[in-house]
Structure 1
Amino acid sequence: MKLIELKNKKILILGFGEEGRDTFLALHKLFPKKVIGIADQKEFSIFNFQFSNTKRHLGKNYLKSLKNYDVIIKSPGIPRTILKPYLKKNIRVTSQTEIFFQNCPGTIIGVTGTKGKGTTSSLIYHILKKAGLKTHLVGNIGKPVFLKLLKAKKDDIFIYELSSHQLQDLKISPRIAVFLNIYPAHLDYYKNFNEYKRAKENIALHQTKNDFFIYNSDQKILCELAKKTKAKKIPIPANYEFLANIRIPLIGKFNLKNVMAAMVVAKLLGIKNKDIIKAIKTFKPLAHRLEFTGKYKGIKFYNDSLATIPQAVEAALEALGRKVKTLILGGEKVKGFDFSSLAKKILRQKIKTLIFLDRNPKNPIDTAKQISQIFEIRSRKIIPRMFFVSSMKEAVKLAFQTAKKEEICLLSPGSPSFNLFKNYKERGDLFKKYVKHFGAKL
């Protein structure tokens, strides 16, 4: 849908978070006299903002307003299924991402993957910026894109971090698509893994023969997707010898794959190897991703709060090695997660202490139950101590009490924890706060 087509349409912005607000501001700039509908389940105080030309549908009956509009611009994460009873035949449901892709005059580099997309997107942005290209980091990790779209030119390059929610309904794919990996995730939202996979696949399914698909050929699912796309296929190189003499400011072998993906993108855009390497050396790692929090009382603390699936915890343990003796796990019950491989990894690395974050410590979460079952199969001599706490403060205090000098304490939850924290950022920030608090006190 072209922006000009919206001029004479009745538009509703469905969901008024950061992306919804950005959409409103851009549309208001394009069509200053137009009355724009806003619908949201929550009655935010931010709706007191100074725009009179809005029609607001707030609270539990917000979906009833859908039938009165021609175009619904839906925020990511709102399931299409809940809209069906309220839609008429000719109502068009779209998204900020789809409209951006259809109207952007510049080059779009889309990056997705269950894990690593934030780091890879940021690294691509950093390399391109250092090379002097007109670059923007947008999407899941950067800023919303609608206001940027109004000023976009042909020489603009947009690195767009794409979640499954943003990809779900896309019928258009980016010029360069990067697919890092895929593991079971968000199964509280999707019916099953296949539905999640189908959403992710849209990053490449609608590419043309002039586009590029950069993918992790270690994963069979992504190799199958490579067969479906019309784009030129480029497997992410698995030979890391080229990186051996480069000081990469990222921990873990899994990050080498992210670096190689970023390098492939940079080379496609004509950046020389020496300039790519120079930029990589100055890249600053993102927070909450194996972030070194500090050394206190001789104990090293790492914040890996973004590890929201078991596979990410395994990768973190692999990266930090056998000095990890205290591991903070836990979150909420998540459909489809399998912790058996992680449990075996914990035993192999001889971790001494497991601290589980749980709102109700007397009734352990699935994470603890699954891991305990694996432990029972193995020799009881190597089973780590297991503690259950209901706050980050308790978890960190316990870590200081149980860990010894030269050991590592790692926060790597292995699941989301909306039952205890607003998001992974709050969880990681609280970890850092209490590490510093008890580090100075104890």
Structure 2
Amino acid sequence: MILNELKNKRILILGFGLEGRDTFLFLRKLFPNKVLGVGDRLKISNFKFQISNLFKNDKRVKLHFGKNYLEALKNYDVIVKSPGIPPKIIAPFITKGQKITSQTEIFFENCPGKIIGITGTKGKSTTASLIYKILRKDGIKAHLVGNIGKPVLSLLLGTRGAFAIRSRGVFAKRNAPTERNAPSLGAKPRRNISDILRGKKDDIFVYELSSHQLYNLKKSPNIAVLLNIYPEHLDYYRDFKEYIKAKANITKYQTRKDFLIYNSQNPIVKEIAQSSRAQKIPIKGKYFELNVAAAIKVGKIFKIPAGTISKVIKEFKSLPHRLEFVGKFKGIEFYNDSLSTIPETACEALDFLGNRVQTLILGGFDRGLDFKKLVKAILKSKVKTLILFPVTGERIWLEIVKHQGWGVSLGRGVSLRENASRPDRESASRPERVLESLLHYFVKNMQEAVRLSYLHTKRGKICLLSPASPSFGIFRNYKERGDQFKKWVKTGGKIRTGRFARSGRFASRKRLAT
């Protein structure tokens, strides 16, 4: 959306997270005298620091916070929606003639530099980071933006994220412009963002794009990287097809002058690539190999020397919670793959690390995903112990039982669900063997999970946290889940005497066919 189109429109910023706050600051700089609306489902009390800093002495802002915040939509012409708000939620409140846009769309429509867009169900952040580091190593003026980097509109004003406000206050960079001393852009908006961008037109923006950011986007990046597509975020979209459609927007509007780097091993990605008008560059690889392959291809497009690319790859350290090597403790190697929120990534992690994985920690929030492939991967692997979090941990074990044709009963006249709901401390410390080769535990906290990992993983073997499920319910997010894992691993899995997590334990007496 060209900025000049916003001049005489009533604008509502919907969602007041980091991106929403960044959008407000951007629009306020462009339109200092315009009335701007801000809405969020959370109560205004959740934003006391942000409110006091952003809206102090600002008499031209209307606030719509709380459960009825969507009712304000009817009073505005343009809605700048944050990506975390599902389109289906706001659909009943949209009236004819209203324009729904986003920070991503505003940036794409007005950015004077080239954009490298990276998407995929998994691997976006690692690939984007690699590409960014390769470009910077070669002396190219690159910016890492989107999910992993800075909010893009801050860059367009040259603030470099100095206005980022967090829940405990303002953390502005030293000597960064403030609301009081920041240069005013005047009441009259410019027609194109290049007039105000503090940089050159040859700047490169490495943009990590989620499906939410791609949804309804009407312009594609100059270079698109499409890594993989698996069922994910099905609570956000109407169905899997809608999710695929959103992902496909990364190449939908490309021309023959553009490039599409795509994973030729992923059937859905391959099908999307066939309809793309861009110059197609196929890649292959497992896990990190795929990320590296994509980064190398981007480097070649920019004619970056192979030696420069190779040096960056060798020096690159995996990002936190993405098959992150935590360390070797008591002879055991621990890997933190907390960002694994779907079965496919757990399968890939098992495949990548190989037969030394002896203990696997799984389970989390249930989005109704299919675990059949994961079960087959587990049974084919050398994993000896499963440590399972609710709710999907129980589903995964039930799938193992069904796969072996045992039915729901385990020979005791107690169903899986009934047995799992009646844990006892004695069984927590003395699990029965499952078919000689596979033990399983149900746990409800990470401390107990790590304690059991130390007990059941031999020296020279691997303990892998790759939950194959979202973290909600027990943890705030995947970061907290991974951080707790690392914390307890580094303390040796110690737990206070006499205190155990409430956990159900059960085991079948049948022999497991491998």
- Structure 1 length as normaliser, TM-score? 0.91
Residue aligned with 2:464, SS: strand
For 2:301, the aligned partner's letter is L
Which residue is equivalent to 1:325? 358
Partners in 2 of 1:26 and 1:317 — Cα distance? 44
Which residue is equivalent to 1:204? 251
Contact 2:388 2:440 in 1 (8 A): yes
Which residue is equivalent to 2:450? 396
Counterparts of 1:121-200 in structure 2, within 5 Å, are 121-150=128-157, 151=197, 152-200=199-247
Contact 2:114 2:203 in 1 (8 A): yes
Contact 1:292 1:301 in 2 (8 A): yes
Residue aligned with 2:106, SS: helix
Counterparts of 1:415-434 in structure 2, within 5 Å, are 415-434=469-488
Distance 1:375 1:383, change over 3 A: farther
Which residue is equivalent to 1:228? 275
Which residue is equivalent to 2:191? none
The Cα shift of 1:367 comes to 2.8
The Cα shift of 1:84 comes to 2.6
1:351 counterpart = 2:383: yes
Partners in 2 of 1:406 and 1:20 — Cα distance? 47
Partners in 2 of 1:24 and 1:315 — Cα distance? 40
1:300 counterpart = 2:304: no
Equivalent of 1:61 in 64, 68, 79: 68
Distance 1:84 1:289, change over 3 A: closer
For 1:193, the aligned partner's letter is F
Deviates more, 1:102-111 or 1:274-283: 274-283
1:334 counterpart = 2:359: no
Contact 1:331 1:415 in 2 (8 A): yes
Equivalent of 1:80 in 77, 80, 87: 87
The Cα shift of 1:441 comes to 8.1
Equivalent of 1:269 in 302, 305, 315: 302
Partners in 1 of 2:478 and 2:253 — Cα distance? 32
Residues 342-387 of structure 1: CA distance to partner in whole angstroms, max 9, x if unpaired?
212212223111001126xxx9642332233224569963551110
Deviates more, 1:320-329 or 1:59-68: 320-329
Contact 2:11 2:36 in 1 (8 A): yes
The Cα shift of 1:328 comes to 0.5
Question: How many residues were matched structurally?
Answer: 424
Which residue is equivalent to 2:439? 385
1:47 counterpart = 2:51: yes
Deviates more, 1:26-35 or 1:209-218: 26-35
The Cα shift of 1:161 comes to 0.6
The Cα shift of 1:306 comes to 0.8
Partners in 1 of 2:84 and 2:330 — Cα distance? 43
Deviates more, 1:145-154 or 1:208-217: 145-154
Distance 1:377 1:211, change over 3 A: farther
The Cα shift of 1:132 comes to 0.5
Contact 1:330 1:368 in 2 (8 A): no
Residues 235-276 of structure 1: CA distance to partner in whole angstroms, max 9, x if unpaired?
12x4x8xxxxxxxxxxxx421121111111111112121221
For 2:345, the aligned partner's letter is A
The Cα shift of 1:227 comes to 2.3
Which residue is equivalent to 1:17? 17
Which residue is equivalent to 1:367? 396
* Percentage of identical aligned residues: 57
Residue aligned with 1:259, SS: helix
Runs of 4+ off more than 4 Å: 375-380, 439-442
The Cα shift of 1:332 comes to 1.3
Partners in 2 of 1:430 and 1:365 — Cα distance? 22
Deviates more, 1:157-166 or 1:30-39: 30-39
For 1:75, the aligned partner's letter is S
Distance 1:162 1:84, change over 3 A: same
Partners in 2 of 1:235 and 1:405 — Cα distance? 40
Gaps in structure 2 of 5+ consecutive residues: 158-196, 408-432, 497-514
Partners in 1 of 2:461 and 2:88 — Cα distance? 49
Which residue is equivalent to 2:502? none
Partners in 2 of 1:221 and 1:324 — Cα distance? 29
Residues 295-353 of structure 1: CA distance to partner in whole angstroms, max 9, x if unpaired?
22221111010111111111111121211111110001112x22122212212223111
Distance 1:87 1:439, change over 3 A: closer
For 1:89, the aligned partner's letter is K
Residue aligned with 2:296, SS: helix
Distance 1:364 1:351, change over 3 A: closer
1:97 counterpart = 2:129: no
For 1:126, the aligned partner's letter is K
Distance 1:82 1:439, change over 3 A: closer
For 2:384, the aligned partner's letter is K
Partners in 1 of 2:249 and 2:400 — Cα distance? 35
For 2:226, the aligned partner's letter is F
Residue aligned with 1:438, SS: coil
Residues 17-69 of structure 1: CA distance to partner in whole angstroms, max 9, x if unpaired?
11101111111121222221100000222333342232100001000111111
Partners in 2 of 1:332 and 1:368 — Cα distance? 15
Partners in 1 of 2:460 and 2:117 — Cα distance? 41
Contact 2:447 2:493 in 1 (8 A): no
For 2:37, the aligned partner's letter is G
Distance 1:369 1:164, change over 3 A: same
Instruction: Look at both structures and tell me which one has the larger radius of gyration over its CA atoms.
Output: 2
Partners in 2 of 1:106 and 1:364 — Cα distance? 46
Which residue is equivalent to 2:459? 405
Which residue is equivalent to 2:468? 414
Partners in 2 of 1:312 and 1:305 — Cα distance? 10
Contact 2:86 2:237 in 1 (8 A): no
Contact 1:355 1:387 in 2 (8 A): yes
Partners in 2 of 1:428 and 1:393 — Cα distance? 12
Contact 1:347 1:383 in 2 (8 A): no
